[in-house]
Amino acid sequence: MPPAPLSQKEIEDRLAELPGWSLDGDRIARSYQLGSHFAAAVLVVHIAQVQDELDHHSDLTLGYHTVFLTVNTHSVGGAVTELDFDLARRVEELAAGHGAH
């Protein structure tokens, strides 16, 4: 059974628990700053590992010292679901360990 899309209120409540994350159209999004391009690339690889574990993938953009990701659930027409917030919480844990802000 596919996950259910979250209401606007549910999305806002969950975003309040994830500083730095915001709603960007039909996705939740976050940008991270790191100390170097290599550090940013390593974070991208670790995010990809978590995405494979969860079988839930986001769009990732690697910049010079930045990582930007946007997340929604394609299987429910691109809506935001609890799966997106599960991934966001895991990414937050990873990013802290990489010194991202």
pLDDT for 43-53, tens place per residue? 999 999 999 99
Beta bridge partners of residue 66, listed in sequence order: 33
Confidence label for 97 from pLDDT (cuts 50, 70 and 90): very high
- Do 81 and 56 meet the contact criterion of CB atoms below 8 Å apart? no
- Do 69 and 47 meet the contact criterion of CB atoms below 8 Å apart? yes
Q: In what order do the strands lie in the sheet with 27-33?
A: 22-24, 27-33, 66-71, 59-62
pLDDT for 60-70, tens place per residue? 999 999 999 99
- Residue 29 dihedral angles phi and psi, to the nearest 5°: -145, 155
